[in-house]
Amino acid sequence: MSSKKAVQVAWIWLNVPAVMNSLHFLAETKFFGIALTPWKIIGLSGSLIFGLRFLIQWIASERARKSVIPFGFWECSALGSFLLLAYFAIYRHDSVGVLQSFLPLPIYLRNLYFRYTHHEPRHAGSEPRVEE
């Protein structure tokens, strides 16, 4: 190995801590005083998606002029639960968060299964409201 190449390799190895410190900036950024890590972004995204399900349900009920649960409600429920489950299980190691995310998940997935396999409404509650 030439001396020039050896100097370059030595420079890289000596600067590994500096490089890691610069990447640490990307790993933990403050946003409005909240430290954001990639795992926190996953957890916050899960909370946001899970919360959006109520907005979707409210809009669908206003349009139908009756209480309905649209397909997007179940999609947001399942996706939000998966993201929150990953956050609580892998990052936080929080058994309460894992249980609250995991236990309702089969219900969300079953309703998604019904939606994908049964395309026609099977009961009167699924039909649009008759204008009065």
Q: How far is CA 84 from the centre of its chain?
A: 6
Residues 9 and 52 in one domain: no
Asked if residue 12 is part of any domain, the answer here is yes
- Is the pLDDT score of 126 beyond 70? no
Q: Report d(CA 65, CA 99) in Å as an integer.
A: 35
- Is the pLDDT score of 17 beyond 60? no
Residues 104 and 70 in one domain: yes
Q: Report d(CA 31, CA 73) in Å as an integer.
A: 29
Residues 19 and 55 in one domain: no
Q: How confident is the model at residue 27 (pLDDT cuts 50, 70, 90)?
A: low
What does the pLDDT read at residue 20?
A: 45
Residues 54 and 114 in one domain: yes
Residues 80 and 113 in one domain: yes
What pTM, to 2 d.p., does this model score? 0.68
Q: Which of 116, 120, 81 is nearest to 102 (CA)?
A: 81
Q: What percentage of the chain reaches a pLDDT higher than 90?
A: 52
Q: Report d(CA 91, CA 55) in Å as an integer.
A: 28
What does the pLDDT read at residue 130?
A: 66
Q: What is the pLDDT of residues 72-100, one digit of tens each?
A: 999 999 999 999 999 999 989 999 999 99
- Is the pLDDT score of 70 beyond 70? yes
Distances (CA, A) of 84 to 19, 30, 46, 73, 101: 31, 21, 5, 16, 6
Asked if residue 131 is part of any domain, the answer here is no
Q: Rounded to the nearest 10 degrees, how much is the dihedral formed by the CA atoms of 68, 79, 98, 38?
A: -140
Query: Which are the contacts of 94, defined by CB distance < 8 A and separation ≥ 6?
Result: 88
The domain in which residue 14 lies consists of 1-28
Residues 2 and 67 in one domain: no
Residues 9 and 49 in one domain: no
Residues 20 and 47 in one domain: no
What does the pLDDT read at residue 65?
A: 93
Q: Which of 117, 108, 56, 115 is nearest to 83 (CA)?
A: 108
Number of independent structural domains in the chain: 2
